Amino acid sequence: MALSYKARRRWSLVILLVGMPLYIVLAVSIMNWLDRPPFIVELLVYVILGILWVLPFKAVFLGVGKPDPDEEPKK
């Protein structure tokens, strides 16, 4: 079942305000667990983690910045 436009907007807000900080804490915890690798490895891990978080939520964020397609045009 596809989410409505308003539901996607709400879920995207929840993901950005709650999920993103939790994911940042997770990424920093992973880096601390690796015990300070060389700079290039650290950069690579952050870039990979920065891309991976959005993949499961791609459908939620798709078209959120555009006008509501279901809304009737105002005269």
Q: Which domain holds residue 27?
A: 5-61
Q: Evaluate whether residue 72 is within a structural domain.
A: no
pTM: 0.72
Tell me which of 19-23, 52-56, 65-69 is least confident: 65-69
Alpha-carbon gap, residue 45 to 49, rounded angstroms: 6
- 20-39 average pLDDT score: 86
Q: Evaluate whether residue 69 is within a structural domain.
A: no
Q: Evaluate whether residue 73 is within a structural domain.
A: no
- How many domains does the chain contain in total? 1
Q: Evaluate whether residue 56 is within a structural domain.
A: yes
Q: Evaluate whether residue 13 is within a structural domain.
A: yes
Question: ∠ CA 31-37-42 to the nearest 5 degrees?
Answer: 60
Q: Evaluate whether residue 49 is within a structural domain.
A: yes
